[in-house]
Amino acid sequence: MSHMETSKKCEMDALYFLKSRTKFIRFFFEEGEKDYEDVKHRIDEQLPPFHIPPYSEDGEPPYLSEWLDAGAAIDLLGINCVSMLSDSLKLYFNTLQRRVIRFSFDQAEKRVFNKGFVPAYFAALGEILETDWSDCPVDRDLIEQIVLARNRGQHPEDLTSFDFRHDQATLDKHPRPFFAAVDELSAMTAEEGSLASWLMPSLKVSKEGLLKALEQVETLAEWIEDRLDRAEEWRARQRANRPALLREV
């Protein structure tokens, strides 16, 4: 098999395996959500095993704790799915770097890594694919927020609850975060459209938000795939200038 044939096989594998992961994430969320929504439905409609209210003198609706737990489980399911999506995106970029295009980061791009792997890969791939990304139909802010949401969701700060909130650094860069409850953002909006600094919005991954994020990651990968011929051209230029080669590995 020629070098180009081998490279093309790897290119196809990168997109294929990324989509295999996004397909599973959809399945994982939708099947899990069904179970927890079923619990809430059975409580609301007083269906078995929630048809006989337990004795209580506290005045709370029966099975309130179970209903709230089911809602919290759906929230955690969404956060975990975004975490899997972030990891899948990183693995995809890593595969492009090591197996498909085969490049290393220059010093300027390495410094960008301090801001996260998404800006670093966009910087490197922008040079290789000869694009400033203005022609890419993907919301790059949303792509970055997938990773930020993963980082917040994987580092809880409060033992007393499963509540996750955005931090000030995220709000400074994304004043109206994508993964947040719309009604909560509206209630927390202070004068001139800024969020009150004393109360950070909750990290909320709705089904619609998750599906949008999945679609954006897939669209990004498809867009990159359609331009990988430019990566071959880039590699040819690197080989032609091999004495001055700094990037290719």
- The pTM assigned to this predicted structure is 0.86
How does pLDDT run across 211-240, given as a tens digit for each residue?
999 999 999 999 999 999 999 999 888 888
pLDDT of residue 13: 84
How does pLDDT run across 127-177, given as a tens digit for each residue?
999 999 999 999 999 999 999 999 999 888 888 888 899 988 888 899 889
Mean pLDDT of the 68-79 span: 96
pLDDT of residue 242: 66
* 28 neighbors 20 (Cβ within 8 angstroms): no
3-class SS string, 38-79 = HHHHHHHCCCCCCCCCCCCCCCCCCCHHHHHHHHHHHHHHHH
Across all residues in the chain, what is the average pLDDT? 86
Q: Is the confidence at residue 17, as pLDDT, over 50?
A: yes
Mean pLDDT of the 25-37 span: 97
